[in-house]
Amino acid sequence: MPTEKDGTAEALTAQLERMSNSVEQLSARIARLATLLDVNLQNDNELDRLLNMDGGIPGGHERRVSALPPAGPERRKSNQQEELRALLVLRYGVSRRYVERVGVQATRCILVNAQDQLELEGFKPGAAGVDLRRVFDGF
């Protein structure tokens, strides 16, 4: 006879699975963009440069007035850099919310499992950012 506790455990398992899938997909897109743009996300200088980009939209101007280059390869690269930056910021926010929701250990497992999945797909350790196994060694 199933109990309420069984239902709660199943719901938690399903929630953790959804969270893990979201981080895997997010990390895969980050790794693909970083590879395409030849950005080493483990290099602090490159990461800082990427995260501190101004986005190419001058402050106070309408969105249609843009400092981006006209359509073409440079515009595409600029859009991809902005997408990469946005996805990194999004993943940091998601990770923080996951810690609040399910705790540090569960979030650690989710992030490390996402990295493991990327490596199974052929990406180098840390392709989507910091090599998490190095960060979490000793925990």
Q: Please provide the DSSP assignment of 37-87 as one string.
A: HT--TTSHHHHHHHHT--TT--TTS-TTS--SPPTTHHHHHHHHHHHHHHH
**Positive or negative CA dihedral for 127, 39, 76, 86?**
positive
- The answer to whether residue 58 scores a pLDDT higher than 60 is no
- The confidence band for 26, taking pLDDT boundaries of 50, 70 and 90, is very high
Residue with tokens 């200088």: 45
* pTM for the model: 0.78
Q: What mean pLDDT value characterizes the chain?
A: 83
H or E stretch at 139:
none
- The answer to whether residue 69 scores a pLDDT higher than 80 is no
pLDDT attached to residue 14: 92
- The answer to whether residue 68 scores a pLDDT higher than 80 is no
Residue 126: Cβ-neighbour burial (10 angstroms; 0-12, 13-18, 19+): buried
pLDDT attached to residue 124: 87
- Convert the pLDDT of each residue in 74-128 to its tens digit: 999 999 999 999 999 999 999 999 999 999 999 999 999 998 999 999 998 888 9
Report which of 120, 48, 119, 58 is spatially closest to residue 85, judged by C-alpha positions. Answer: 48
